[in-house]
A and B are shown apart, each in its own frame.
Chain A
Amino acid sequence: MQGYILTMDSLRNLVQELMKTYKVVAPVKKETRFDFCEIEKFDDIRLDYDTSILPPKKYLSPPVETLLRFKRSENKAEPVFDTTPVVLFGLHPCDIKGIKHLDQAFSENNNYDRHYLAKRENALIIGLECLPYDYCFCSSVGSTFAKDGFDIMLIPIGDSYLAEVGSKKGEELLKRIQAKPSQELDIKKAEAFKSEKEKKIVRRFNKVNASTVRDLMQRTWDHKHWKELEERCLACGSCNLVCPTCFCFDVQDEVHINLDDGERRRIWDGCMLVDFAKVGSGENFREHRSQRLRHRINRKFNYLYDRFNSPTCVGCGRCVRACTVKIDPVEIVNELSR
């Protein structure tokens, strides 16, 4: 772990330097919570945030995104690509892994989603090591630490940060602000922070781990627990919409009041919503809430495993936090494996 040392002042320098050329997005306070927002100054940033309302993916795959603009009278359409340079600052390792999943989902099998990739190619990711909060469970899904997927990773060491380099761009940036290379002791402190983090994680799968949770899912398709959850689940879709790895969307056309100009938009969708698996004939492939919940949990721990070679849940805990009836993947997995 070779790196650089950033004091609070040099971190401030770094952010101010970035703000000259990038839109800088970072965790800020929002009423009783935190959320990623474009900052106006360094002091807006809350380095002590627990989690954000929405994952930072909203800057790469926005809740509502214009895909193309059309003119009906001319039968013409122009695609829209957003290439604004953005810095995603202060991402915890779970969210970095979430973005890695999206990178793959939006480019695998030579199917390139150019709307996503245009934003992604112009984004810089600066991570921030964290300690667990009330809802997360990263160690059970293998996302406690980020090995890659960032340009710079900040690890708190007392009053300073060890800045781990993840890309050439990241290194250039640290050199530009004349950050000092880290010493042996700094690296030791960073290691100590990480082992403290591991020790503090209390929410865990009891009997399975990141690789065996998939087999558990395959064995428990008919488990009675799914039916029990039918009673509780509101099927409101909140879990889908705050998830850093959910990438399903709906596409809608919106016409201007002149009835000629218009745009095609994609909007976040969620498999927990009643219409998601409904088809033209009126048939609904997942009519019951329990079926939809089982589907969502299986998407995270089973169905996509082969494609992503890991669970697609990153253990950020946002779904539990957002759920008003507190349906919790950790509780579900533990109940299924009891």
Chain B
Amino acid sequence: MKPRVAFFDFASCEGCQLSVINMENELLDIVSHIDIVNFREAMTEASDDYDIAFIEGSVTREYDIPRLKKIRENAKFVIPIGACACTGGVNFRKNFYELNEIRYYVYRDSAKYFDTFATRPVKAVIPVDFEIPGCPINAKEFLSVVKSLLIGKKPEIPNYPVCVECKLLGNVCMYDKGEVCLGAVTRAGCGAWCPSNSSGCEGCRGLVDEPNKNSEIEVLTKAGLTVEDAIQKFRIFAGYFEEVKK
């Protein structure tokens, strides 16, 4: 019997699920190995009987919690996909403000209709098995995780920084072009997507283990950023990490 796979979304732009749907060359091969039974963005039918749950989006509302717990009960593997689900993503920025204030700043008079709490990644609510970070996820990496699960191998998410992938590609360093880049402290796996297209890394995949944040802030300030801007740069995607919270 083919493994049954479900996709769910919480607070997100649904861009990660779109990245999955965009794999037009591989989709037919993928569905020859799995049955997709729940995928709101791609199909009408929905089932609660599944083995693997991919979850996009961060947790921002009280009633997200029972929904997540239900998914955890149903699935053998729970795999958050994308920055929002793995680390809170851009949504986590609001946690650096007074919650009520930021709610009214965003929603104005309609704020009373949006009862949200501080952004949490999925793993802060339920245990997860693996994570596929990125904003959006890298389809190639998603595919590699799916293949690993299908042949019973542990998925490999790199624990080295984006600098490694840039070097393997022979890219000119962003700092050589007078740009700033968070590649030295950001988890690789994207294939150095942004630097390869002449745009500095924004850190969307979150920090590597044991990042040297202080030294990286010095690098950023030497490249022209103020300390405040450097800290804000970290907060775009990595606010959830202890090193940045401090």
Interface residues of A (CB under 8 A from B): 30-33, 35, 53-54, 58, 63-64, 72, 231-238, 241-242, 252, 254-255, 257-259, 267-268, 270, 273-275, 289, 322, 324-325
Contact = CB atoms under 8 A, between A and B. Distances in A.
B132 to A, nearest CB: 17
Contacts of A53: 170-172
Contact of B29 (A63, A258, A270): A258
B69 to A, nearest CB: 30
A32 to B, nearest CB: 5
Chain B interface residue count: which class?
35 or more
B80 to A, nearest CB: 22
B136 interface: no
B214 A33 contact: no
Contact of B33 (A31, A64, A259, A325): A259
Contacts of B168: 63-64, 241, 267-268
A321 B167 CA distance: 13
Contacts of A35: 170
Given A237-B164, A241-B164, A274-B210, A324 B170 contact: no
Interface of B: 26, 29-30, 33, 143-144, 147, 150-151, 156, 159-161, 163-164, 167-173, 175-177, 183-185, 208-212, 214-216, 218-219
Nearest to B218: A325
Contacts of B144: 254
Given A268-B168, A274-B208, A236 B161 contact: yes
Contact of A257 (B147, B163, B176): B147
A268 B156 CA distance: 16
Nearest to A230: B212
**Looking at A31, A235, A270, A325, which has the most chain B CB atoms within 10 Å of its CB?**
A235
Nearest to B223: A324
A289 B212 contact: yes
Given A31-B177, A35-B170, A289-B212, 8 more contacts: A231-B214, A232-B212, A234-B185, A238-B163, A238-B164, A254-B144, A255-B147, A257-B26
A237 B30 CA distance: 35
A31 B219 CA distance: 22
A20 B78 CA distance: 56
Nearest to B219: A324
Nearest to B147: A255
Contact of A233 (B151, B161, B176, B212): B212
**Looking at A252, A257, A275, which has the most chain B CB atoms within 10 Å of its CB?**
A257
Contacts of B218: 325
A274 B159 contact: yes
A259 B147 CA distance: 7
Contacts of B163: 234, 236-238, 241
B192 to A, nearest CB: 12
